[in-house]
Amino acid sequence: MVDFDQQVEGEMAMTKVAVIMGSTSDWPTMQLTTTQLDQLGITYEKRVISAHRMPKQLLDFAENARNNGLSVIIAGAGGAAHLPGMIAASTTLPVIGVPIKTRTLSGIDSLLSIVQMPSGVPVGTVAIGDAGASNAALYAAAILAVNDAELAERLADYRTAQTERALASGEALHE
Ligand code: RP5
């Protein structure tokens, strides 16, 4: 059983990223976000907050996010995915939206709900599903790395390792 209100490592003041999802059913996807954050040594808190089922909790979280020491919020939701947009409407922190792949419309519904924000309230939107979940963590890392030289170095190392893996797999094809 996953403890969704558990903070991972460190004190509250050290936790810069919140990973929010609309339902526990989003966890198999959003787990890729937390795995990537773990790999980069970024502390985070993770919580289920449904925009539709828990609107009061949503506002409470978003309105207090900056004062609680957060710098970036990653929010994953599926279907009529209002969670990232409603969080973005209630804080000026950067919000990254992850469209969850749905059974009915393959996540196109989630993508359009998240990406088509009206002018004035941006949500940085990543790809549907697994790639987006992982990229959300990398994007959050890039934002934090603007003021964190050590994290910038870890991010550069990640890219170098990725390039080396791609080169090696290409070479293997020629053998
Ligand atoms: C959204 O509704 C959640 O983000 C989830 O992707 C979707 C379905 O939620 P469940 O009915 O599985 O709880 O709010």
Domains of the chain are 7-147 (3.40.50.1970)
Local confidence pLDDT in tens for the 175 residues of the chain? 677 665 544 444 478 999 999 999 999 999 999 999 999 999 999 999 999 999 999 999 999 999 999 999 999 999 999 999 999 999 999 999 999 999 999 999 999 999 999 999 999 999 999 999 999 999 999 999 999 999 999 999 999 999 999 999 988 877 7
Pick from 71, 69, 97: nearest CA to 83 = 97
pTM of the shown model: 0.93
Q: How would you label 67-100 residue by residue, b for 16+ Cβ within 10 Å and e otherwise? A: eeebbbbbbbbbbebbbbbbbbbbbebbbbbbbb
ipTM of the complex: 0.97
Annotated binding site: 23, 26, 53
Pocket test for ligand 1, best of 4, 25, 101 (most atoms within 8 A of CB): 25
E-strand spans in the chain? 7-8, 17-21, 44-48, 72-77, 95-99, 124-125
